[in-house]
């Protein structure tokens, strides 16, 4: 692994913490050169048994609904989150298609065992969440996420809140961090195999092995609401889309009330449009052989990680897309690295508060 970041006290603390973690020095899967196989396994394999969840619906300002799935299950005796015995609320953000993968569930279960309080954020119309308004969430519009974070902060006011996103869902988290700045209410955040440049990603297209399953998954969900969506979009064009770009354009650009150009859409929805304003420690785990994100040279904003004191990039040569396999199929060292990162960041922030004489969270 190579760590790209701007030198700082925070970076030194992170290097020491990750250096103590055995997960970054462990063995790997038997198929390290097959990123496509890793990707398929990550998408299709679910934990056994599947975790129990308690679903909660949150009504938004415009009467839309999002769903929060709280993971339930046993915790290890005497477990804590690695941050001085203080639990953390962990917000899990699926990819842009709303697909809750086995990898995301596995991360939630590991966090649960270590004392975290994990909750999955399901967007409007995704993963069984009813679509009560003819309005879906654009790729980089963090409005709904902002209301969810505010709700979680009000529900757990004395517990630090952290967030992790997977794949294309990172566009939402990156946009939120940039727009919110120091008012994000997050103690730390992480992105696993993020998509940094949304427009380039849609235009370049992904391998069909990844794009077609996600496209079919989205169409299946949208077809349930064809009647209500017909008021605002061309449903025939929407369900006849042959790529994720065509579907994105049909949903958000070729609308009946407020049509917009493809260029104007991305001016408002690029994930890194306000990256300079981000003020929350963010760890991005990326692999050079990621078949979904694209080549390193044109898909990774390395200069951002060298100039911002809050952005950290952990880059490995192999790992695929959201794979990072270890100790056999279904295990990912990225999950352990993310949880280690959250513990290290909260530990650092608490030490800074003590040094400045600020009151501690109880």
Count of CA atoms in the C-beta half-sphere (13 A) of 23: 17
Helix, strand, or coil (residue 129): coil
Count of CA atoms in the C-beta half-sphere (13 A) of 1: 24
Give the tens place of pLDDT for each residue, 140-175: 999 999 999 999 999 999 899 999 999 999 999 999
To which H or E segment does residue 117 belong? strand 117-122
Q: Is the pLDDT of residue 138 over 80?
A: yes
Q: Is the preceding omega at residue 49 within 30 degrees of 0, hence cis?
A: yes
| Residue 126 designated active-site | no
Query: Which residue did the predictor score with more confidence, 245 or 17?
Result: 245
Q: Which fold has domain 2-197+270-354?
A: Rossmann fold (3.40.50)
pLDDT at residue number 76 = 55
Mean pLDDT of 194-208: 92
One of 69, 144, 321, 335 is an active-site residue; which one? 321
Q: Are 315 and 289 in contact (CB under 8 A)?
A: no
Give the tens place of pLDDT for each residue, 304-360: 999 999 999 999 988 888 888 876 555 788 999 999 999 999 888 888 777 776 665
DSSP 8-state secondary structure symbol assigned to residue 33: T
Q: Is the pLDDT of residue 82 over 50?
A: no
Give the tens place of pLDDT for each residue, 11-70: 999 988 887 765 665 555 454 555 556 566 655 566 666 789 999 999 999 999 999 999
- The DSSP code sequence of 246-301 is HHHHHHHTS-SSS---HHHHHHHH-TTTTGGG--S-EEEEEETT-TTT--HHHH--
Domain boundaries, the chain: 2-197+270-354, 204-269
Query: Which residue did the predictor score with more confidence, 212 or 263?
Result: 263
Alpha-helix residue ranges (DSSP H) falling in the chain = 9-20, 35-44, 102-113, 143-155, 170-180, 198-204, 208-223, 226-229, 235-239, 244-252, 262-269, 296-299, 302-307, 333-356
Q: What is the mean pLDDT of the chain?
A: 87
| Residue 236 designated active-site | no
- The DSSP code sequence of 179-196 is HHGGGS--SEEEEES---
Give the tens place of pLDDT for each residue, 219-238: 999 999 999 899 999 999 99
One of 290, 331, 335, 353 is an active-site residue; which one? 290
Q: What CA–CA distance (Å, rounded) separates 195 from 84? A: 33
Neighbours of 245 (CB within 10 A): 17
Q: Is the pLDDT of residue 78 over 70?
A: no
pLDDT at residue number 184 = 94
Task: Specify the residue for token string 């839309």.
Answer: 64
Q: Is the pLDDT of residue 139 over 70?
A: yes
pLDDT band at 84 (very low <50, low <70, confident <90, very high): very low
Query: Which residue did the predictor score with more confidence, 51 or 240?
Result: 240
Dihedral sign for Cα 122, 128, 129, 135, please: positive
Residues in CB range of 261: below 8 A, 6 or more apart: 253
């Amino acid at each position: 692994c190579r760590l790209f970041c701007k030198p700082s006290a925070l970076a030194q603390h992170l290097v020491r913490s990750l250096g103590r973690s055995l997960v970054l020095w462990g063995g790997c899967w038997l198929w390290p050169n097959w990123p496509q196989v890793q990707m398929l396994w990550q998408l299709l394999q679910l934990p056994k048994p599947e975790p129990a969840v308690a679903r909660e619906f949150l009504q938004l300002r415009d009467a839309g609904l999002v769903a929060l799935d709280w993971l339930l299950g046993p915790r290890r005796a005497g477990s804590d989150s690695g941050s001085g015995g203080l639990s953390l609320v962990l917000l899990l953000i699926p990819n842009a298609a709303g697909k809750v993968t086995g990898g995301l569930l596995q991360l939630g279960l590991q966090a649960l065992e270590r004392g975290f309080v994990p909750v999955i954020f399901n967007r409007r119309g995704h993963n069984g969440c009813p679509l009560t308004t003819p309005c879906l969430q654009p790729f980089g519009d963090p409005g709904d996420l902002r209301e969810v974070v505010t709700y979680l902060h009000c529900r757990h006011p004395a517990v630090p809140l952290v967030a992790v996103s997977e794949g294309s869902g990172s566009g939402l988290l990156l946009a939120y961090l940039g727009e919110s700045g120091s008012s994000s209410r997050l103690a730390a955040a992480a992105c696993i195999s993020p998509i940094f440049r949304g427009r380039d990603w849609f235009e370049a297209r992904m391998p069909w092995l990844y794009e077609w399953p996600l496209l079919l998954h989205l169409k299946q969900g949208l077809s349930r609401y064809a009647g209500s969506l017909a008021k605002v979009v061309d449903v025939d064009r929407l369900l006849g889309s042959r790529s994720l770009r065509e579907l994105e354009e049909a949903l958000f650009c070729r609308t009946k009330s407020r049509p917009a150009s493809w260029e104007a859409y991305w001016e408002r929805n690029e994930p890194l449009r306000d990256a300079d304003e981000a003020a929350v420690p963010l760890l991005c785990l990326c692999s050079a052989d990621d078949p979904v994100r694209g080549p390193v040279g044109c898909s990774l904003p390395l200069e951002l990680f060298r100039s911002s004191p809050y952005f950290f990039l952990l880059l490995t040569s192999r790992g695929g897309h959201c794979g990072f396999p270890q100790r056999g199929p279904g295990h990912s060292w990225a999950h352990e690295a993310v949880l280690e990162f959250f513990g290290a960041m909260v530990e650092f922030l608490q030490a800074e508060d003590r040094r400045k004489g600020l009151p501690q969270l109880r």
